Amino acid sequence: MKILVPIKRVVDYNVRVRVKSDGSGVETEGVKMSINPFDEIALEEALRIKEAGTAEEVVVCSIGGKDCQQQLRTGLAMGADRAIHVTTDSAVQPLAAARIFLKLIEQESPGMVFLGKQAIDDDNSQTGQMLAALWDRPQATFASKVELSDGKAKVTREVDAGLETLEVDLPAVLTVDLRLNEPRFVKLPDIMKAKRKPLDEIALDDLGVEASAQLEVTAYEPPPTRSGGRILESAQELVDELKNKGLL
Amino acid sequence: MARVLIIAQHEDGALNPATAKTLSGAKSLGIDDIDIAVFAESGAGVAQQASRLAGVTRVLMIEHADFAHPTAARLAPEIKALADGYSHILGPSTTFGRDLMPRAAALIGVGQVSDVQEVLDSHTFKRPIYAGNAIVTVKAPEDRTVVATIRSASYSAVAEGDSACDIETREAAASDPGHTRLVNLETGGGDGPDLQTADRVVSGGRAMGSSDGFDVIYSFAKKLGAAVGASRAAVDAGYVPNELQVGQTGKIIAPELYFAIGISGAIQHLTGIKDAGTIVAINKDAEAPIFEVADYGLVGDLFEIVPELEKLI
């Protein structure tokens, strides 16, 4: 079985993102960029499945400008076998991304596609579900546990009410939640080795997918801020304050 | 034609409050014609409940044995089959809506607007990105169906009106693709109000130290009539189950009164409580970021302060 893992280059988890003063976007100049943390967990899970002998090959792919090859190289250093870079300088929204990944699925015929449950930049949480719809295959989103046997995946999902377990026939699309695993650290020799692993470039135009944006972003603004309140001296004072506000 | 369809979320024969919040978002579109679709094995109770919500035009009840616990793969084609008569199709931004609505949007062939927090006009919306560190205004094309999820924490639930609207029965249009099966659903259940919709929430963090340490939180919450929540650190440490997690990747909530106890206040947690009315923080570290957003703070040992509070209220 082959596993396809789409990864997205995003502003690093630890960066405190700020809206540009002219409202044209968020500040990304000189900011640390990383693999979307949920995608990193997706890749880790794919690698563990390969190491357990259930998959033969893990392919990472990404859509974007030249820079996203840094994240693909990181994916290769983690242990992916090959990388595919779909090159474009346009911003790609989830439906277009799903259409692009479907083209890669047609070329690669994976048994599973693992994605993060959302990207921490746009927080959309759409691409995996859309891909499963277009591919007409099962989806198991927000996975916190995955067990494979006989061409099926048993997936525990984190849902509103608690934990739901679905069984899906493969091929299927899985999106992963934080508690699925802890991704490995990349070691220096692996980074060196990753430089020699294949990384293919495909121009978006050659895939015959229209990447035109469906939703137009017209403005960015900082969120309204909560101002900090007061530090009180005692539990009694707190109870009095809350009673005064009619909250107790 | 301007007409809105809301996909109802319901469990155990009752409408999930997120549905009435989605209706609240729908009403701000400025469109009078609003239908609610109820997919259920046996939907009469839920459909009647939906029909009494103020401002609903019609309830569509679609009953089928498959809908006892439907998957997104089963429901998305049903939504597509209903889509033709509607300009807007909305769901809640719960895990139910987040799982289902993008699958339906892709079948319809449109992008989705996730987590609408404000409606500017029928096709223009505000939504949070970067864990709420920025708000974007997005415009959906006028000539396409709008598929969106409504951020529950940004809207209050629509109440019941004076009269009930009509309930129309429809036939299921699709069939089970047969590739996805429910094996098990494990709910924390428990006593007390639902975390997602409670007016009062008491959350504990890593500083609780253990599952037993959380007893302080449960006891205080019980006295307050509050739901119990937790930070990601407390969930990851195994003190409480995952469905109690509040934050960017857990539940986004908007209670009137929120207690953050032994929670330092990572940005991902703050994302989940931005819309709370009054925030109280209790932490031994006076420099903890939670105090930057809390309305009231107490610095000290939570294992002394919380039981004292419990006695005082």
Average pLDDT over chain A, rounded to whole?
A: 95
Closest by alpha carbon to B155, among B6, B37, B290, B2? B6
A198/chain B closest Cα distance in angstroms = 32
> Nearest CA to CA, how far is B186 from chain A (Å)?
5
Q: What is the pLDDT of residue A227?
A: 78
At B192 the pLDDT is 77
* 8 Å CB contact between A28 and B134: no
Bridging pattern class, strands A112-116 and A2-6: parallel
**Tens-place pLDDT, residues A113-171:** 999 999 999 999 999 999 999 999 999 999 999 999 999 999 999 888 889 999 999 99
List the end-to-end C-alpha distance of chain A, in Å, as a whole number.
Answer: 59
Of B260, B257, B242, the closest CA to residue B95 belongs to B242
pLDDT band for position A16 (50/70/90)? confident
The CATH code belonging to domain A2-244 is 3.40.50.620
Confirm or reject contact between B264 and chain A (CB < 8 A). Answer: no
List domains and CATH numbers for chain B.
4-170 (3.40.50.620), 200-312 (3.40.50.1220)
Contact status, residue A241 vs residue A235, Cβ threshold 8 Å: no
Q: Which residue of A has its CA nearest to B180?
A: A168
State residue B18 phi and psi, 5-degree precision. -60, -25
What number of C-beta contacts closer than 8 Å exist between A and B?
Answer: 248
Question: Which residue from B minimizes the CA distance to A92?
Answer: B111
Within chain A, where are the H helices?
37-51, 68-78, 94-108, 127-135, 188-194, 235-244
pTM across the whole model: 0.93
CA B274 to chain A, closest CA, distance in angstroms equals: 8
Beta bridge partners of A230: B296
Angle at the Cα of B264 (from A117 to B231), degrees rounded to 5? 40
Q: Do A162 and B130 touch (CB under 8 A)?
A: no
- Domain borders along chain A are 2-244
Q: What is the pLDDT along chain B (313 residues), one digit of tens a residue?
A: 799 999 999 998 999 999 999 999 999 999 999 999 999 999 999 999 999 999 999 999 999 999 999 999 999 999 999 999 999 999 999 999 999 999 999 999 999 999 999 999 999 999 999 989 999 999 999 999 999 999 999 999 999 999 999 999 999 999 999 999 999 998 876 667 889 889 999 999 999 999 999 999 999 999 999 999 999 999 999 999 999 999 988 899 999 999 999 999 998 899 999 989 999 999 999 999 999 999 999 999 999 999 999 999 9
**Bridge-partner residues for B67, per DSSP?**
none
User: A32 and A11 in contact (C-beta within 8 Å)?
Assistant: yes
Check residue B189 and give its pLDDT. 60
Contact between chains at B133 and A16 (C-beta distance less than 8 A) = yes
Place of tokens 């857990």: B250
pLDDT for residue A194:
96
C-alpha distances (whole Å) from B213 to each of B164, B189, B204, B232, B308 are 48, 20, 9, 16, 16
Tell me the two tokens of residue A180.
């699925």
pLDDT tens for A193-204 read 999 999 999 999
Contact B271/A at CB under 8 A: no
pLDDT of A162 reads 87
ipTM of the complex: 0.95
Phi-psi region of B53 (alpha: psi -120 to 50; beta: other; left: phi over 0): beta
Contact between B128 and A222 using a beta-carbon 8 Å cutoff: no
In angstroms, the separation between the Cα of residue B41 and the nearest Cα of chain A is: 19
Contact between B269 and B246 (Cβ < 8 Å):
yes
pLDDT of residue A224: 86
Measured in angstroms, the CA of A47 and the nearest CA of chain B are apart by 22
A211 pLDDT higher than 80: no
Q: In what order do the strands lie in the sheet with A216-221?
A: A216-221, B134-139, B124-129, B118-121
B256: helix, strand or coil: coil
Contacts of A159 in chain B (CB under 8 A): 95-96, 99, 243
* pLDDT, position B261: 98
Contact between chains at B99 and A129 (C-beta distance less than 8 A)? yes
* pLDDT-derived band at A67, boundaries 50, 70, 90: very high
* For chain A, percent of residues with pLDDT exceeding 70: 99
CA distance B292 to B89: 38
Q: Read off the amino acid at residue B21.
A: K
Nearest to A241 among B181, B267, B296 (CB): B296
